[in-house]
Amino acid sequence: MDLTRAAAEALDAADPLAAFRDRFVVADESLLYLDGNSLGRLPRDTPAALARVAEEQWGRGLIGSWSSWIGQATEVGDLIGTGVLGAGPGQVLVGDSTSVDLYKLLVAGADARPGRDVLVCCADDFPTDRYLVAGVAAARGMEVREIPAHIDEGLDPEVLAAALDERVAVVVLSAVAYRSGALPDLTAVTRLVHDAGALVLWDLSHAAGAVPVELDAIGADLAVGCTYKYLNGGPGAPAFLYVRRELQDELRQPIWGWFGQRDQFEMGPVYDPAPGIERFGVGTPPVLATAAVEVGARLVAEAGIEALAAKGRALTDLVVALADAELAPHGVVLASPRDATRRGSHVSLAHPQAWQITQALVDRGVVPDFRTPDRVRLGPAPIYTRFVDVWDAMERFRAVLAESAHEAYPTERSRVT
Ligand SMILES: Cc1ncc(COP(=O)(O)O)c(C=O)c1O
User: pLDDT tens-digit profile of 339-354?
Assistant: 999 999 999 999 999 9
Q: How far is the CA of 174 from the centre of ligand 1 (A)?
A: 10
Percentage of the chain beyond pLDDT 90 is 98
Flag whether pLDDT at 416 surpasses 90. no
Q: From ligand 1's centre to the CA of 38, what distance in Å? A: 9
What is the residue with the minimal CA distance to atom 7 of ligand 1?
Answer: 98
pTM above 0.95, yes or no: yes
- Mean predicted confidence (pLDDT) in 23-44: 97
Residue 366 confidence (pLDDT) = 98
Q: For this structure, is 386 an active site residue?
A: no
Pocket test for ligand 1, best of 101, 128, 131 (most atoms within 8 A of CB): 128
Instruction: Indicate if the pLDDT at residue 147 is higher than 60.
Output: yes
List, for residues 253-305, the tens digit of each pLDDT value. 999 999 999 999 999 999 999 999 999 999 999 999 999 999 999 999 999 99
The mean pLDDT value for 157-161 works out to: 97
Q: Cα(282) to centroid of ligand 1, in Å?
A: 19
- Measured from the CA of 228, which atom of ligand 1 is nearest? 10
Ligand 1 pocket, residues with Cβ under 6 angstroms: 97-99, 126, 128-129, 174, 178, 203, 205-206, 226, 239
Distance between Cα 129 and ligand 1 center (Å): 8
Judged against a pLDDT cut of 80, whether residue 23 lies above it is answered with yes
CA of 231 to the centre of ligand 1 (A): 13
Distance (angstroms) between ligand 1 centre and the Cα of 104 equals 15
| Residue closest by Cα to atom 14 of ligand 1 | 38
Q: Bridge-partner residues for 375, per DSSP?
A: 350, 371
Distance CA 233, CA 307 (A): 20
What is the SS3 string spanning the chain? Answer: CCCCHHHHHHHHHCCCCHHHHHHECCCCCCCEECECCCCCCCECCHHHHHHHHHHHHHHHCHHHHHHHHCCHHHHHHHHHHHHHHCCCCCCEEECCCHHHHHHHHHHHHHHCCCCCCEEEEECCCCHHHHHHHHHHHHHHCCEEEEECCECCCECCHHHHHHHCCCCEEEEEEECCCCCCCECCCHHHHHHHHHHCCCEEEEECCCCCCCCCCCHHHHCCCEEEECCCCCCCCCCCCCCEEEECHHHHCCCCCCCCCHHHECCHHHCCCCCCECCHHHHHCCCCCCHHHHHHHHHHHHHHHHHCHHHHHHHHHHHHHHHHHHHHHHHHHHCCEECCCCCHHHECCCEEEECCCHHHHHHHHHHCCEECEEECCCEEEEECCCCCCCHHHHHHHHHHHHHHHHCCHHHHCCCCCCCCC
Q: What is the pLDDT of residue 302?
A: 98
Q: Is 104 a catalytic residue?
A: no
| Catalytic-role residue among 104, 377, 386, 398 | 377
Q: Which of 229, 279, 311, 375 is catalytic?
A: 229
Mean of the per-residue pLDDT values of the chain:
97
What single-letter amino acid sits at 251?
A: L
Q: Which of 99, 106, 230, 377 to mutate to test the pocket of ligand 1 (most atoms within 8 A of CB)?
A: 99
- Checking if the pLDDT of 417 tops 80, the result is no
Best CA proximity match to 221, nearest among 272, 143, 168, 292: 168
Residue of 124, 205, 211 to test ligand 1 pocket, by largest number of atoms within 8 Å of CB:
205
CA 217 – CA 214 distance, rounded (Å): 5
For this structure, is 229 an active site residue?
yes
Alpha-carbon distance of 376 to 330, in angstroms, equals 14
Domains of the chain: 5-43+304-408 (3.90.1150.10), 70-303 (3.40.640.10)
pLDDT at 415: 60
The answer to whether 221 is a known catalytic residue is: no
How far, in Å, CA of 39 to CA of 18, rounded?
Answer: 20
Choose the catalytic residue: 20, 33, 228, 240.
Answer: 228
Cα distance between residue 198 and residue 299, in whole Å: 35
Annotated catalytic, 377? yes
pLDDT tens track for 79-134: 999 999 999 999 999 999 999 999 999 999 999 999 999 999 999 999 999 999 99
List residues bridging with 367 in a β-sheet: 33
If phi > 0 it is left, if psi is from -120 to 50 it is alpha, else beta; for residue 131 that is alpha
Rounded Cα gap, residues 396 and 388, in angstroms? 12
The pLDDT, as a whole number, for residue 414 is 78
